[in-house]
């Protein structure tokens, strides 16, 4: 049996850096013989720092020689605490699971990242399947867990908090659970609160986060000092890409200090910009809520002469909410997202399209993601870039800017009377409670996180990959942002449904073509690295 690690990257690897904490093949579960290192390709400059390390494993599955099977594994506490005792999983005694055929997930169960395959193709990347394991590495009465929420809001955070508390308590008999208030900074600057199933009983019916949140304030050493001082041994971290980067640092510090602490990340983002997972929780709820704003815009512009409605939706770097809300609605004439640069003037531009639609229909609706056209807006406003406490770029209000540009053009240049209606429902969309299907999704995420932590995994993220929940190395979800691929069919479906210009031809299109080429290169790398 043979196993090897392949490194995609430009720098010469050191052995220690090749086996990162997030990618250790766990010998007990998945016993591996010697590891062989292989440098397989050099990425273009744009991705050079983002080294993708993957471990190829042929053990356990007894695959054919070099069938291309790759397991991207998550770390286990026994990696640095080899003598850690394990215990039978208390779920064995659970009445609820009494007649379940297979209560426990086998160490050989994995989830394939790619499910569309060609006959004879390599098996590709896999992640460990999430779920309860036969043996756990914590005694229930020894567990002291904490939960923290960081970054922006999204529907469903309270459901995840509730289900971590109830999952720990109902499935594993854990009674000691703390809420860290106000995000990462709360570890060292605020009091904790005690969380019980009773305390969190109906929080899933409310939007926001019961624990409060914040941006900025991540201080790894202070946070881990606090974890150590309080005797916390399970840390559940709910947050987006920035938060998950922070979770990775906390795990690394935990490992450096040799602490028996399970660090579990639960990906949260309204923008759906987290890589690898199918979709982030709260996204469907947000898309549904966006329909109300789009419908309102449509009613308004339909009721007046030459009505032009603009609805601004969230999406800092990724236009998923705008794209899916547009596709779902069918009253939208044009959707503008950060991934697809647009231009206003001249042939093939937005002004020309608006005029054409007004002639045809006497009204039109534009949906714009808040991150769209930022460089364009910045050029015309000459403003310097500012950042929030977490280092995220603060966006210029593209919705207001576009409203003004359209007004000026039609009133002053085209001498046409138009009726502009601008709707900005951004915070309303992310502040609501999650819908029924997101609630179920949040429950599965929370329970997967609890099972993973109890099973002794640490430094991992949970999430569905092709509809199956998996344990994913944190670095895999932070190294790339999930964005709308203009070269995928979904964007083509949108263009076909709105019949809007693609902004790839015409006077303002040169830069767009360059951006498309860059995007295509990135897509090709992602595809070839799978």
Ligand X SMILES: Nc1ncnc2c1ncn2[C@@H]1O[C@H](COP(=O)(O)OP(=O)(O)O)[C@@H](O)[C@H]1O
Ligand Y SMILES: O=P(O)(O)OC[C@H]1O[C@](O)(COP(=O)(O)O)[C@@H](O)[C@@H]1O
What are the helix (H) ranges across 173-317?
186-189, 220-230, 241-257, 283-302
The least distance separating ligand X from the CB of residue 479, rounded to whole angstroms, comes to 12
Could you give the CA distance from residue 395 to residue 45 in angstroms, rounded to a whole number?
26
Is 70 or 395 the residue whose CB approaches ligand Y more closely?
Answer: 395
59 binds Mg ion (CB under 5 A): no
459 binds ligand X (CB under 6 A): no
72 binds ligand Y (CB under 6 A): no
Is 167 or 208 the residue whose CB approaches ligand Y more closely?
Answer: 208
Q: How far is residue 248 CA from its own chain's centroid?
A: 15
156 binds ligand X (CB under 6 A): no
152 binds ligand X (CB under 6 A): yes
Could you give the CA distance from residue 396 to residue 385 in angstroms, rounded to a whole number?
9
Tell me, by CB under 6 A, how many residues bind ligand Y: 13
269 binds ligand Y (CB under 6 A): yes
152 binds ligand Y (CB under 6 A): yes
Longest alpha-carbon distance in the chain: 80
Is 261 or 369 the residue whose CB approaches ligand Y more closely?
Answer: 369
CB neighbourhood size of 174 (10 A): 24
Binders of Mg ion in range 97-116 (CB under 5 A): none
The least distance separating ligand X from the CB of residue 29, rounded to whole angstroms, comes to 29
Which of ligand X, ligand Y, Mg ion, none is residue 270 near (CB under 5 to 8 Å by kind)? Answer: ligand Y
Strand bridging mode 192-194 / 135-136:
unpaired
Which of ligand X, Mg ion, ligand Y, none is residue 29 near (CB under 5 to 8 Å by kind)? Answer: none
240 binds Mg ion (CB under 5 A): yes
Phi-psi region of 103 (alpha: psi -120 to 50; beta: other; left: phi over 0): alpha
Is 76 or 218 the residue whose CB approaches Mg ion more closely?
Answer: 218
75 binds ligand X (CB under 6 A): no
Binders of Mg ion in range 434-493 (CB under 5 A): none
Strand bridging mode 87-88 / 69-71:
unpaired
From 156, 316, 172, 148, select the one nearest 226 (Cα to Cα).
Answer: 148
Tell me, by CB under 6 A, how many residues bind ligand X: 20
The answer to whether 399 and 424 have CB atoms below 8 angstroms apart is: yes
Compute CA distances 161 → 240, 320, 444, whole Å.
15, 25, 12
In this chain, which stretch among 128-136, 156-164, 265-273, 342-350 interacts with ligand Y, using CB under 6 A? 265-273
320 binds ligand X (CB under 6 A): no
Start-to-end CA distance of the chain, whole Å, equals 22
319 binds ligand X (CB under 6 A): no
From 488, 494, 230, select the one nearest 369 (Cα to Cα).
Answer: 494
The answer to whether 126 and 69 have CB atoms below 8 angstroms apart is: yes
Which of ligand Y, ligand X, Mg ion, none is residue 289 near (CB under 5 to 8 Å by kind)? Answer: none
Which candidate in 271, 284, 333, 438 is catalytic? 271
218 binds ligand X (CB under 6 A): yes
The least distance separating Mg ion from the CB of residue 32, rounded to whole angstroms, comes to 35
**What are the residues whose beta carbons fall under 8 Å from the beta carbon of 526, sequence distance 6 or more?**
480
Please report the DSSP string for 1-63 in residue order. --EEEEEESSSPPPHHHHS-GGG---TTTS----EEEEEEE---GGGTT--EEEEEE-TTT-P
Which of ligand X, Mg ion, ligand Y, none is residue 370 near (CB under 5 to 8 Å by kind)? Answer: ligand Y
The answer to whether 321 and 272 have CB atoms below 8 angstroms apart is: yes
390 binds ligand X (CB under 6 A): yes
**What are the residues whose beta carbons fall under 8 Å from the beta carbon of 280, sequence distance 6 or more?**
154, 267, 268, 269, 270, 271, 272, 273, 274, 463
Binders of Mg ion in range 242-261 (CB under 5 A): 242
239 binds ligand X (CB under 6 A): yes
The least distance separating ligand X from the CB of residue 138, rounded to whole angstroms, comes to 26
216 binds ligand X (CB under 6 A): yes
Is 306 or 318 the residue whose CB approaches Mg ion more closely?
Answer: 318
282 binds Mg ion (CB under 5 A): no
The least distance separating ligand X from the CB of residue 196, rounded to whole angstroms, comes to 26
Go through 332-352 and write b for each residue having 16 or more CB atoms within 10 A of its CB, e for each that does not: bbbbbbbbbbbbbeeebbbbe
Strand partners, 180: 192
Could you give the CA distance from residue 58 to residue 43 in angstroms, rounded to a whole number?
26
Instruction: Return the residue of 9, 75, 132, 240 that touches ligand Y, per CB under 6 A.
Output: 240
In this chain, which stretch among 39-47, 164-172, 268-276, 405-413 interacts with ligand Y, using CB under 6 A? 268-276
Instruction: Return the residue of 59, 72, 163, 241 that touches Mg ion, per CB under 5 A.
Output: 241
Could you give the CA distance from residue 153 to residue 488 in angstroms, rounded to a whole number?
29
Is 250 or 396 the residue whose CB approaches ligand Y more closely?
Answer: 396
The least distance separating ligand Y from the CB of residue 160, rounded to whole angstroms, comes to 14
Is 66 an active-site residue? no
Could you give the CA distance from residue 311 to residue 368 in angstroms, rounded to a whole number?
6
In this chain, which stretch among 54-62, 308-316, 492-500, 520-528 interacts with ligand Y, using CB under 6 A? 308-316
Q: What is the DSSP letter of 77?
A: G
In this chain, which stretch among 100-108, 263-271, 403-411, 522-530 interacts with ligand Y, using CB under 6 A? 263-271
- The binding site for Mg ion (CB under 5 A) comprises 240-242
- The binding site for ligand X (CB under 6 A) comprises 150-152, 183-184, 215-218, 239-243, 245-246, 249, 269, 390, 392
Mind telling me the catalytic residues?
Answer: 271
- The binding site for ligand Y (CB under 6 A) comprises 151-152, 240, 269-271, 314-316, 370, 388, 395, 430
């Amino acid at each position: 049996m043979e196993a090897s690690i392949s490194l995609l990257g430009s720098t010469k690897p050191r052995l220690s850096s090749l086996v990162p904490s997030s990618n250790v093949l766990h010998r007990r579960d998945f016993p591996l013989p010697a590891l062989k290192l292989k440098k397989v390709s050099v990425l273009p400059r744009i991705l050079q720092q983002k080294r993708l390390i993957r471990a190829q494993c042929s053990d356990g599955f007894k695959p054919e020689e070099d069938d291309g099977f790759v397991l991207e594994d998550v770390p286990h506490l026994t990696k640095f605490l080899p003598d850690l005792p394990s215990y039978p999983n208390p779920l064995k005694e659970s009445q609820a699971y009494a007649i379940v055929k297979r209560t426990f997930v086998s160490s050989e169960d994995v989830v394939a990242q790619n499910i569309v395959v060609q006959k004879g193709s390599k098996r590709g990347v896999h992640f460990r399947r999430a779920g309860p394991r036969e043996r756990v590495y914590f005694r229930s009465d020894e567990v002291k867990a904490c939960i923290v929420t960081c970054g922006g809001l999204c529907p469903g955070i309270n459901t995840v908090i509730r289900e971590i508390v109830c999952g720990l308590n109902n499935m594993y008999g854990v009674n000691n659970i703390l809420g860290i208030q106000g995000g990462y900074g709360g570890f060292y600057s605020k009091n904790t609160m005690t969380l019980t199933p009773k305390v969190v009983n109906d929080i899933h019916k409310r939007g926001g986060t019961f624990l409060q949140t914040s941006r900025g304030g991540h201080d790894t050493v202070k946070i881990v000092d606090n974890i150590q001082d309080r005797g916390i041994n399970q840390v559940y971290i709910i947050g987006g890409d920035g938060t998950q980067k922070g979770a990775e640092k906390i795990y690394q510090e935990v490992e450096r200090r040799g602490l028996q602490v399970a660090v579990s990340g639960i990906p949260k983002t309204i923008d759906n910009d987290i890589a690898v997972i199918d979709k982030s929780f709260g996204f469907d709820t947000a898309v549904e809520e966006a329909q109300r704003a789009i419908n309102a815009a449509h009613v308004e512009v339909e009721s007046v002469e030459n009505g032009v409605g603009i609805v601004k939706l969230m999406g800092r770097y990724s236009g998923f909410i705008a794209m899916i809300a547009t596709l779902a609605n069918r009253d939208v004439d044009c959707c503008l997202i950060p991934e697809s640069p647009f231009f206003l003037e001249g042939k093939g531009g937005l002004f020309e399209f608006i005029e054409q639609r007004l002639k045809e229909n006497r009204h039109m609706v534009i949906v714009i993601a808040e991150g769209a056209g930022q460089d364009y807006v910045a050029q015309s406003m000459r403003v310097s870039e500012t950042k929030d406490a977490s280092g995220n770029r603060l966006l210029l209000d593209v919705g207001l800017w576009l409203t003004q540009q359209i007004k000026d053009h039609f009133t002053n240049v085209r001498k046409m009377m138009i009726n502009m209606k601008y709707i900005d429902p951004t915070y309303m969309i992310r502040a609501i409670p999650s819908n029924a299907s997101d609630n179920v999704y949040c429950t599965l995420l929370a329970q997967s996180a609890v099972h993973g932590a109890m099973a002794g995994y640490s430094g991992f993220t949970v999430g569905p990959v092709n509809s199956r929940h998996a344990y994913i190395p944190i670095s895999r979800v932070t190294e790339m942002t999930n964005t709308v691929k203009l070269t995928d069919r979904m964007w083509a479906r949108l263009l076909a449904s709105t019949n809007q210009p693609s902004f790839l031809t015409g006077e303002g299109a040169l830069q767009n073509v360059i951006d498309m080429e860059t995007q295509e290169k990135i897509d090709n790398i992602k595809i070839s690295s799978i």
